[in-house]
Structure 1
Amino acid sequence: MRGNYSQEAERWGMFNMNTQTNNDFDSLRKSLIAKIHIAKKTLGLSECNYRALLEKITGKNSCKDMGVTDLKDVISEMKRLGFEARPKSKKRPVSRKADIPQVKKIRAYWISLYHLGEITDSSEEALKSFAQRYAKVEHLNWLTSYEADKVIKALRGWLDRVGYYHPTNSDYDVLGYPDADNICLINLQSKILGIEDIYEWLRNFTNGQYSSINGMPTDVAHSVIKQLGSEIREFKDQYGL
């Protein structure tokens, strides 16, 4: 009886050919499977979401049951979700300017730290002073891509230390943007303030209109975040934290 991949091997012109060619086919499969596992980790997919993605794209929930075509289809979907294979060259892109998403992420992280009471000045000038620890520039838009990544890494690490959970691609797929970010921030804010029932708090704050962030209008969610942030800063100021 032929192996699980005999039909595909025939399409690739590999069945009943020499051992070296069959080995090449197996090596290609192993390489694609390894890339899928890297993509799973990079995208932060849970085991459940990972298996669901495989099933959705190929009708199979394990790479070991897939041929090259299926594996390539899975990689294409993972790339659509944001996975980028690491380039072979590790040269620093010192001349390329930071793109808009990088600068937006820097500002978003800075504002999140403000709403968590980690900084008291959310101004552009204060952010510039912080960024200048990593690059001597007068404006964020003058950062190179490499310098912007250093600033992002520093801010992300700061958020990690205070317990912020960074949404994964699968979170965005389920909750959408910006709900995923808002939910993660509000969850940590409520934890800092010791709010036992955030749903009840939301109902009271919105006069009974909303009890969940998911689906809440962005302006209302921002009002919630600002109010909680104000209470955190007041609390920390009162107790000298």
Structure 2
Amino acid sequence: MSPSTPPEDDPGFPAATAPHTATAAGLDAAVATCRACPRLVAWREEAARTKRKAYLDWEYWARPVPGFGPADAALAITGLAPAAHGGNRTGRVFTGDPSGDALFAALHDVGLASQAVATHRGDGLELYGVRITMPVHCAPPGNRPTTAERDTCRPWLARELELLRPTLRTVVVLGGFAWQALLPVLAGAGWCLPRPRPAFGHGTEVLLVDVRGRDHGELRLVGGYHPSQRNMFTRTLTPAMLRDVLQRGAETAGLPRR
């Protein structure tokens, strides 16, 4: 960190740091040091102290959870935020909670993951052509980040998508929160959004054009319901619906079938 960079607990830390990360690995390392949102820091660390009974022998990650997947992915998946006893425990997005159980099973079914189960970092799981990220990198109370927390965290997402840009073709957006968080990031990066801005819906597809005329000037968004425990229990989202959205993402990104 240079003398001019705000400390990790300054609200300006993400905006000052993210644009200067040169690689996805560097970005992931910087994300994991962030303490810019006091409410989220307090919540993620409290969850690590109190723990759930089933995880008493775990040493919780209790830091911001970085993205996961190859740095040259053609497909990105955006969720909401880590779960307090899922990603906040394991240190990997969508790992160790019911949402992750549903997502990785579906990714494996459509040939985008090496295994159907994700339990912890270092469990051997690999993603093929896919990187998973989120607009808020810390577990929020009640799974509800504030708009201020979302906006403070936004530079991390913007830089991650910028680093992916040479290869990125499609983004599968899981949930309305992620959809609303992503659109201004894409607009700021030079993607032309339709007017009025497209509303979120399961199966919604939007094709964006790069108004700056750079190579690979199209990006497709595919909306899908978030695989939350509630959505899966009520069958608002079924495993087949989730597989279909991910398969559509893979096809539009040009990923080969496995």
TM-score (ref. length: structure 1): 0.29
Higher-strand-fraction structure = 2
Give the helix-richer structure, 1 or 2. Answer: 1
- Structure scoring higher RCO (CA < 8 A, sep ≥ 6) equals 2
TM-score between the two structures when normalised by the length of structure 2: 0.28
